[in-house]
Every structure is written in structure tokens, then in C-alpha cells.
Structure 1
Amino acid sequence: MKVSAALLAMLLVVATFVPTFASANEIKSDIVEESSSAILIERDTGAVLYEKDSDKKLPPASMTKIMTMVLIMEAIESGKVKLDDKIRTSEYAASMGGSQIFLEAGEEMTADDMLKGIAIASGNDASVAMAEAIAGSEKAFVQMMNDKAKEMGLKDTNFVNPTGLPAKDHYSTSHDMAMMARELLKYDLITKYTGKYEDYLREDTDKKFWLVNTNKLVKFYQGVDGLKTGFTNEAKYCLTATAKRDDMRVVAVVMGAPSPKKRNAEVTKLFDYAFSQYTTNKLFDRNHVVKEVEINKGDRATMEVVTSEQVSVLMKKGSKDEKITTSIKMNENLQTPIKEGDPVGVLTVKVDGKVTATSPVLSSQSIDQASWWQLMKRTVGQFAKASDGVK
């Protein structure tokens, strides 16, 4: 499907729509005191519940791997990479310092185990091995990372590597990290990795390797199941964390905390604030069929339209009943071929007439251009049906 410049611009607006749900005077200013930057959002709506210098460019350290995992999950969902695929470790990948799972040059490990090594133990070697497997080289993968950031409308992020190791011009913001986390959390599978406190690699060998999650809140805060810590001397202590209770999932980011204890304490306060003050009403799961539309010249007469993510309404606890409405606007002049997963419209959620969230809707199947014979059969069928109606 051809995407016009106007449509692309519209999709960027949709992808980056982040309403501020609470005004500054509603929130205690002392939630985050010592970290350089912070933000708290509700995942489904993207509503900002708290922020402190959230557009300040800072080194993200290993939180960089959130974008690395976004691209890995895209590759898995598209079928380009399968979890049981064997990923070979290059000499370059094995040479990575910092956090690692001690891959040896030439060693093969499944994508499933590589993802464990990245999500749980923050393995720099596993990150580069996966980057090379997906893009052919680390450099090409970094270009994919920056292209994805631009596609998401993230203007204050630039990647130089897929690991977060210190590098000139490698930076992001707490706002942009929250948006990356929001994108990653579209994939339900990811929290099965980031939510594990411990696991093992090479379990049936004499090189059994114990993984312990660098995000201690996974064990010590109810509902936390991700996402990624970060630390370098320059970045100090960073954390992008997510927690879910009932149907409400929130994301908190702190950057530049002076210690891991302070980092965890400030994220905990952000979560406490969110769960004590807000609740959500889930409207649709991801991939929920919300509409069926006719495709005039497709090899299918109709197309099912599905949600691209879970869609919810955020509400302040104790607020009055509100009128919730949803609407779908299809893109004009849809033309075949349409690929499964192509954006074909926008779903809008309104509460008491005010837009609270927008989200792309997707084609649930691929539709090619119809043959002359298919169009003829369809025309004859429609004519016969109309003739039956006038008898």
C-alpha cells in the first residue's frame, strides 16, 4: 500500500499523541527530587501523569536496549526471526565489555536465550549478536533504530549503538524512553522475559549461567514486570519500569539518579501515585476486530480492521460517570495491494466529547488486486442479489 506524505504525517501524529492528564498543581512536586529527569505515563492512552524535565537530553545507558528489543520483537512478529533460530556470535559481538552473558566467538544460542540475556541480564554481547542477525551488521541495525525513532516522532533521541555503552551523540530523554517502552509493550511476549527475576542459560551444560534481573523492582514491587535499567558513570542510575494492576499498566522513567536505591525509591513513588489516583477501563484488546469494510478491487471483497494495541480509557478514581465514545476514520482511497498489518485508519476515543486517545487501526489480512475474472464474478453475484431483491 502506498503511503502518501500527508498520511505519513498523520500517522506520526497518531503515534506520538500524548495527552497530559493531570495539571502540575494536582501533583506533589516532591515525587522525584534527586533524579535529573522523570516521567510517568499510562500505557494505553499515553496520558502523562507526572513529568520533570522530561525533554532533557541525557545518556540512556542500557535503557537503549528497549529500542533494541522493539526491533527484535518486530522481527519475531513478522516471522523474520523465530525464537528457536540459532544465532551465531561474531568475534565482534563476543568482544563487548560491560554487562554480558559471556558469549564466545562462534557460539550459537537460540533467539529465545539471546532475548533472555538482553532482557534479564542486559547482555551487551547478546544485543550485538541479535543486531547482526537482524540487520547484517551493528551499523545497519543502529540505522534501523534511528529510523524507528523518527517513525515514532521521537525528536530528542539519537543512537550510536544497540547497547547503551558510552558514545558521543548517543542520547535520549525520559519522554522518548517512555514512548519506546509504550511501543515495546504492544508485544505481550516481552514481559515474559523482562518480568523474570532469574533464569538460566546453557542449563544442560557444564557452562550453566545464572541470570538475575538488574531491575530489582520485579521482585519487590507488586505488578512490576519490566523493563530496563541503565548505568554508566556519565548517565548515573536510570530505569524505565512498568507495572500492571488489574487492567491498568503504567510506565515510569527516571534518569540520572544518584544511586540505585534512590532510583528505585523514586520509581516506587511514581507507581504508588499512579495506582492510588487512577484507574482504567479497557475497551479493546490488541488485534480486536473493530470494523469490516468493502474493498472494491481487491481479491477479497471485504477487509477486517483490527486494533494495533490495547485501547483503554483513563479515569481519576472517584470521578463521576463519563460518556465514552469511539469512532473509526478510514484512510481515503485505500488501494491494493494492502499488506497484513498496514495502517488503514485511526480509532479515536472520546470522554464526554473530549479526545483522550487515538490509535492506528490495521488490516488483519493481506489483500491483492483482484483479477478480471474475480471482478466479473463479483459483479454478476451483486447483480443476481439485486435481481432477487426486486421480485
Structure 2
Amino acid sequence: MKVRLSPFKVFDMFALIFLALIFILFPVASAKERPAVKSATTTTIIVPQPKTSAAPAPEITANSVYIFDPDSGTKIYEKNGRTKLFPASTTKLMTALVALDAYDTDQVLTARTASQAVGSTIHLVNGDQLTVENLLYGLLVDSGNDAGLVLAENYPGGYTQFITRMNQKVRELGLTSTHFTNVSGLINDDHYTTVTDLTVIARAAIRNATIRKIVSTKTITITDITGSKKYYLESTNKLLGMDGVKGLKTGWTPESGECLVTLVTRDGKSILVTLLGSEDRFGESAKLINWVYDNFDWMQI
């Protein structure tokens, strides 16, 4: 007697065969083969916040002030932040950035017109040969205009092209209220910045280990490449030695007044304090530094 399968049983049989073929041809991935599900991560940012009992900022003579946390990118205090002013020798932070883009620190440069430098100098003469690193010490520690001149005149295309590159870097940093005509900060109506722009330049500078090392130096003796000619350098920054001060750059001309950009780190919390047009850059910077650390806490957000 023949057994006849119902249409449903026939369908079930073919379905089972089909499923078996699927598992053979396309095996299920093991737990190890399955893509891992990424867990959501939370980014914690620590920013300065005024205490409930915070005192107002001290009265100061500076035309413009900007205080900034470089780690979180937080503005702490601003006075006339968009006013264009003469930066004086704080210009040399950009000079150093462009030089370090162009040269190796052990590269040797020859002074060609250093004897013609005006203003503050480290007493280079034409024909002196120094490494780029030693020239940067002369530029940033003792604020030597002649050191900046040597860095610029050896640039491919010469001094003029170095200035062009300084202004290109201004644009690369997204700055719209800064323009340079020289490497030293000598007064020119077309040579200007704002405290907010200058703080951005300073933030770029402190990200460079060579600059950080140099601006924290109080005194140093550098030499030419023969070792026979010595240049004793003493920092123009009188705040070096104050609690947490890591240095940065001073500036002064009769037209600009006193200028200062200062990096400070206390208990792992850093600030940049930028003043332009002050009558007492060191005293006023010290007041502002202490005011910040006395009246702000760094909080997670």
C-alpha cells in the first residue's frame, strides 16, 4: 500500500531541506566573529567656573586683556578683546613659530645684516654663525631683534618672504585682526594684533616643546658654532620664578606701552594671560593670575 504525503507535509520537507542548505552554505557567526557593539563613551571636559563668592577682576591700566584656559579653550576674562593694538616684541612668538616650521633646531645660520638691527639686541655681528636653537634663545629670552633678523634673512626667499609666511600663518590660525610687517614688533601702522588673536598665537606656541623650553629659561649662555664667542642672555620676563609661571613673551615700545603674554600652571590647571598697553605689565599680570586661581574652580561638565 502506497503512502501518499499530504501537500503540507511535502512543503514542510522541502522547507527543512532548504534551511539545512542555508546553514551549510552560510554558517552562523560565532560570538567571537560577531562585530562588537561599541559602548557609548562620555567625554569629560574640565573648565574654569567662577566661585559663588568670586570677587570682580582687579582694576588695571592695560588697554586690553584676555585670560584663557588653553586646555579647554575657555575664556575666563576679557577687556577690549577686539581692539587692534601694537604688539611690540610679543610679535616674536610668531617669528619663532615660522622659524621652527622652516628650520631644524641644529641648523646653522649666518648673520648677514645683524649689525644693522635696531632696538634690543644680543650683540650679533655680521658673519656670526649660530644654530637655530641658539638664535631662538636670543629671540625669546633676551628679546634680540638681531636674532630675529638672522632667522628671517636666511629664509628661502629672504626677509620679505619670511614676513609673508608670518601673515600666511596668521590666516591658517583663523585670525582676522592681526598683520605683521616685521619680525621684531617695531612700530608700523600696518603691524597690529588684538589680545584675543595674540592669545591664539601663544596657544600655538606653547604646543611646541622647543618654545616651551626656551621661554621658561631665566638665564643662559649660548655660543656661536665654534664655541669661542659667548652671548649671556637674561630673560626680560620678571614673572619667571612666580608660582606656576612658565614664561612666554614680553614687549614694549613707547607707542605700544607694556605688553606681556604669560603661561601659568598651578595644580595642573593652566591659563594664558595676555595684556597689551599696560603701565605695569608684571604687577598687573600677577594680580590677574592670583585673582583667577583665588576665584575660579575647575569643574567637570
Task: Give the TM-score band, short-chain normalised.
Answer: 0.7 to 0.9
Change in Cα spacing, 1:138 to 1:32, as seen in structure 2 (3 Å) is farther
Distance 2:82 2:223 in 1: 41
Distance 2:142 2:161 in 1: 24
The structure in which a higher percent of residues are strand is 1
Change in Cα spacing, 1:27 to 1:253, as seen in structure 2 (3 Å) is farther
What corresponds to 2:171 in structure 1? 150
Contact 2:65 2:80 in 1 (8 A): yes
Tell me which of 87, 98, 116 is aligned to 1:71.
Answer: 98
Distance 2:66 2:53 in 1: 15
Distance 1:202 1:167 in 2: 32
Tell me which of 76, 80, 87 is aligned to 1:53.
Answer: 80
Aligned-pair identity in percent equals 32
**Looking at CA atoms only, which structure, 1 or 2, has the larger radius of gyration?**
2
Contact 2:124 2:146 in 1 (8 A): yes
Matched, 1:175 2:196: yes
1:77-88 equivalence runs, <5 A: 81-88=103-110
What corresponds to 1:112 in structure 2? 133
For each residue in 1:41-88, what CA deviation from the matched residue of structure 2 results, as whole angstroms up to 9, or x when unmatched? 01112211011111111100000001111222333xxxxx22221111
The Cα shift of 1:22 comes to 5.9
Distance 1:96 1:156 in 2: 27
Amino acid at match of 1:239: L
Distance 1:154 1:32 in 2: 28
Matched, 1:196 2:233: no
Any unmatched runs of 5+ in structure 2? 1-46
Q: Which has the higher contact order (CA 8 A, sep 6+)?
A: 2
Secondary structure in structure 2 of the residue aligned to 1:31:
coil
The Cα shift of 1:28 comes to 4.6
What corresponds to 1:210 in structure 2? 232
Q: TM-score, normalised by structure 2?
A: 0.78
Secondary structure in structure 2 of the residue aligned to 1:199:
strand
What corresponds to 2:286 in structure 1? 268
The Cα shift of 1:189 comes to 2.4
Change in Cα spacing, 1:135 to 1:277, as seen in structure 2 (3 Å) is farther
Secondary structure in structure 2 of the residue aligned to 1:150:
helix
Distance 2:117 2:263 in 1: 28
What corresponds to 2:37 in structure 1? none
Contact 1:32 1:52 in 2 (8 A): no
Pairwise CA RMSD:
2.2
The Cα shift of 1:27 comes to 6.3
Distance 1:247 1:42 in 2: 11
Q: How many residues align?
A: 253
Where has structure 1 moved over 4 Å in runs of 4 or more? 20-23, 25-30, 203-207
Change in Cα spacing, 1:21 to 1:278, as seen in structure 2 (3 Å) is closer
Distance 1:28 1:187 in 2: 34
What corresponds to 1:363 in structure 2? none
Any unmatched runs of 5+ in structure 1? 1-19, 76-80, 280-314, 317-321, 323-350, 352-391
For each residue in 1:159-181, what CA deviation from the matched residue of structure 2 results, as whole angstroms up to 9, or x when unmatched? 00111011221111111111100
Contact 2:262 2:273 in 1 (8 A): yes
Distance 1:275 1:22 in 2: 11
Contact 2:155 2:161 in 1 (8 A): no
What corresponds to 1:41 in structure 2? 68
Contact 1:35 1:257 in 2 (8 A): yes
Contact 2:105 2:133 in 1 (8 A): yes
For each residue in 1:310-363, what CA deviation from the matched residue of structure 2 results, as whole angstroms up to 9, or x when unmatched? xxxxx34xxxxx5xxxxxxxxxxxxxxxxxxxxxxxxxxxx3xxxxxxxxxxxx
What corresponds to 1:89 in structure 2? 111
Distance 2:202 2:53 in 1: 25
Secondary structure in structure 2 of the residue aligned to 1:147:
helix
Q: TM-score, normalised by structure 1?
A: 0.61
Secondary structure in structure 2 of the residue aligned to 1:217:
coil
Matched, 1:31 2:58: yes
